[in-house]
Amino acid sequence: MSLYQVWLTLTVIVQPCLAIQLDVTSTESLKAASGTVANGMMKYYSGNETGNWPGNLPSPYYWWHAGAMFMTMVDYWYTTGDTTYNTNTIQAMDWQAGEQGIFMPANQTTTEGNDDQVFWAFAAMTAAEFNFPSLEADYPSWLAMAQGVFNEQARRWDSTTCGGGLRWQIFPTNNGYNYKNSVANGGFFQLASRLARYTGNQTYVDWGTKSWEWFEGSVLFDNATYAINDGTDDTANCVLADHTQWSYNYGIYLGGLAYLYNHTKDDRWLPPLQGILNRTLTEFFPASMGNKIAVEVAFWPYLQASAQGVAGQCDGGSDGVTCGMEWNSTKWDGTYGIGQQLSALSVIQANLIQTSRLGAPFTSDTGGTSQGDPNAGSGSDNPGLGSEYTRTIKSADKGGAGFLTLLAVGSTLGGAYFLVT
């Protein structure tokens, strides 16, 4: 057993009685709770240690988990003002983006799908929208990274089967290449929507509209109930869907619709946004959180109730503040990991949007400083394989399994709040 495994085992066995005290109406209380959860999450990160790759997480976590984690750490910096983890976050994102800035490291080709890549692009896009600092002046900007991934994925749009859409996997040799799913297409849709809002470029609006219309007309989406299905097999012409419900599919599309509506002010985006929001709340928010009914976009009580539930569940482990999964219980359920910490953090800090009166994400016209490159990622005819990042690790760099997909819903509901209201 490794030292890492021993530490994880001890966090389960030894449980002092601490827990996180949270007042969802208090900015200081929310910041303190966020700091505690963020610290617990970053204890799992080993990419800044000698011999490890910046941005990678230890087994059993996947590469996309790290992308989601650092996206949340950008959110954490913006909502709390705490710069403690900025150096690690910048280093991880620069390293994984590579010199081309497209998040296609050579050591991930056997597993990297379009959804994995877009989670890292979300991290870069969030950094651009919040003017997150960058220490790598000689590498692509945050905005250019997001544009590079968009250009890569736009080239992968596949009209040879099912009338269009993105495949789950990038490379034909990977399992899942024949699967067209909601997370890959939703990721592309949201990225296009966010780039449209940030840059004002109509090309991104057009691609967002094209992506949505394909999804809306596919078996992935039920227009009557607003249910989002997981995926479909393109070898069978995409006529049957896997009806598994994942909360991140809802969160990703909610975010994309909110950004596109905010930019275009076109009312066509409101009915699906409201429908998917209501379906999300009934599908994933248990009745014990208050039996609240969403009216228009007044869904803030759900975030408050969720944050309160999260705080009650964060009373496990050797530190007494390790978070679990059952947010409707104040007794730790015994689960632990990056997923639990990350999801808890995203929900708690989302409440700071209102209590701290934070502004909407920046655009190029409202103070955004990240300089883009509309041609980023378009210099190759291959499926998107970037060169391996071989930058020498400096001394400053060295110092410096179940995943809760509700993180996408928590952070998205918070973001959608000030994009739509």
54 CB-near residues (< 8 Å, 6+ apart): 47, 48, 88, 91, 92, 94, 95, 96, 393, 397
End-to-end CA distance of the chain: 52
CATH class of 3-366+389-420: mainly alpha
- Give the pLDDT of residue 258: 92
- Give the pLDDT of residue 294: 31
Tokens of residue 400, six digits? 């410096």
* Secondary-structure breakdown of the chain: helix, strand, coil percentages, each rounded to the nearest 5: 50, 5, 45
- Give the pLDDT of residue 400: 28
Matching residue, tokens 């403690």: 84
Burial code (b: 16+ CB inside 10 Å, e: under 16) for 91-114 equals bbbbbbbbebbbbbbeebbebbbb
Tokens of residue 348, six digits? 């708690």
Cα–Cα dist 163/157, whole Å: 10
Give the tens place of pLDDT for each residue, 121-130: 999 999 999 9
Domain segments of the chain: what residues?
3-366+389-420
Residues of the chain with pLDDT under 50: 1-17, 288-289, 291-298, 381-408
Tokens of residue 404, six digits? 């809760």
- Give the pLDDT of residue 157: 98
